[in-house]
Amino acid sequence: MLIIDGKKVSQDLKNELKSSVDSYQAITGKVPGLTVIIVGQDPASQGYVRNKAKTCKEIGMISSVIEMPSETTEKQLLDTIHELNNDPAVHGILVQQPLPEHIDEFTVNLAVDPSKDVDGFHPENLGCLVMGRLDKCFVSCTPYGILELLGRYNIETKGKHCVVVGRSDIVGKPMANLMLQKLDAADCTVTVCHSATQNISFYIKHADILIVAIGKAGFITADMVKLGVVVIDVGINRIEDPATKSGYRLVGDVDYEGVSAVASAMTPVPGGVGPMTIAMLMKNTLLSFQRINGL
């Protein structure tokens, strides 16, 4: 079985991005700038933000983090976003989610300038994705990373049956739309399964490419997939493991040990899709920089 190594691909991509950033700096004297806003003290969110800032530094981009208290009002957050929209040194704006309950995420997504929405959450970017105008939008980072993995590993996708398990706005829906597009690493027939799908095993069993993002540890088992399937596991779940120092370990939505004996290619967890998400955020930020500066 082929292990689709997101850790290696993300590092290759970051090296390529650094080379591009260095070249643009030499030509223009400018570098891309990413600003992340975090509201509240959620430990997981803080960890993600640190990783994003660290990756920016590795590539040579400018990283700014705006930390706002959990009692920040929606208006205060929107005012901050508006300032960043009008700042020419900021090429990418990311509002770390989840947000406190009193702040509406859709309103916040709508406030970010689509030309700086490097997370790909603005309705304008999602609409362009649905219409196949990838040259006019930013694609959500996790689906974009999966497409990059399929392309770099030369996985045959044209005309294949791709089953996406999960319908979230962040992964499932954009992933399904991306795999429908006439692209080298897409051009599939797509089925979307979710919590209300009846006889879900029937659809999964017919997948040539299976992309799973439902947040249920080990949900997909070997008896549910067909021989030779390509499996992309987006899930990251903590399960107790007394044998580890931390007392837990990370697993995906797919039973890796069982399914890897049947699959032709598969992403591990961790080290598969996860590393690609931040790498694609950096790629989107560079793309924004190129568009804004006419490069």
pTM (predicted TM-score): 0.95
Looking up tokens 């990783």, which residue turns up? 51
Per-residue pLDDT, averaged over 167-175, amounts to 96
DSSP 3-state assignment of 266? strand
Domain that holds residue 225: 141-274
What's the CATH number where 72 sits?
Answer: 3.40.50.10860
Residue type (1 letter), 63: S
**Band of pLDDT at residue 109, cut at 50, 70 and 90:** very high
pLDDT at 147 over 90: yes
Q: How far is CA 205 from the centre of its chain?
A: 25
**Lookup: tokens for 38:** 């975090």
Same-domain check for residues 85 and 156 = no
Tell me what pLDDT residue 81 has.
98
In a domain, 209, yes or no: yes
Q: What is the pLDDT of residues 157-170, one digit of tens each?
A: 999 999 999 999 99
Same-domain check for residues 67 and 167 = no
How many structural domains is the chain composed of?
2
Distance CA 1, CA 62 (A): 40
Per-residue pLDDT, averaged over 284-293, amounts to 97
Q: Which residues have C-beta within 8 Å of that of residue 9, sequence separation ≥ 6?
A: 148, 149, 152, 153, 275, 276, 279
In a domain, 125, yes or no: no
**Lookup: tokens for 42:** 């959620």
**Band of pLDDT at residue 9, cut at 50, 70 and 90:** very high
DSSP 3-state assignment of 194? coil
E-strand spans in the chain?
A: 2-3, 33-39, 62-68, 92-95, 161-165, 189-193, 209-212, 230-233, 237-240, 248-251, 265-266
Distance CA 229, CA 223 (A): 12
206 torsion bin: left (phi>0), alpha (psi -120 to 50), beta (else): alpha
**Band of pLDDT at residue 266, cut at 50, 70 and 90:** very high
Q: Determine what percent of the chain is predicted with pLDDT higher than 90.
A: 93
pLDDT at 43 over 90: no
Same-domain check for residues 160 and 258 = yes
Same-domain check for residues 163 and 263 = yes
Distance CA 106, CA 74 (A): 11
Distance CA 73, CA 185 (A): 42
The overall average pLDDT reported for the chain is 96
Tell me what pLDDT residue 206 has.
98
Q: What is the pLDDT of residues 193-224, one digit of tens each?
A: 999 999 999 999 999 999 999 999 999 999 99
Tell me what pLDDT residue 175 has.
98
DSSP 3-state assignment of 277? helix
Q: Which residues are catalytic?
A: 52, 96, 119
Q: What is the pLDDT of residues 121-134, one digit of tens each?
A: 999 999 999 999 99
| Contact criterion met (CB below 8 Å) for 96 and 170 | no
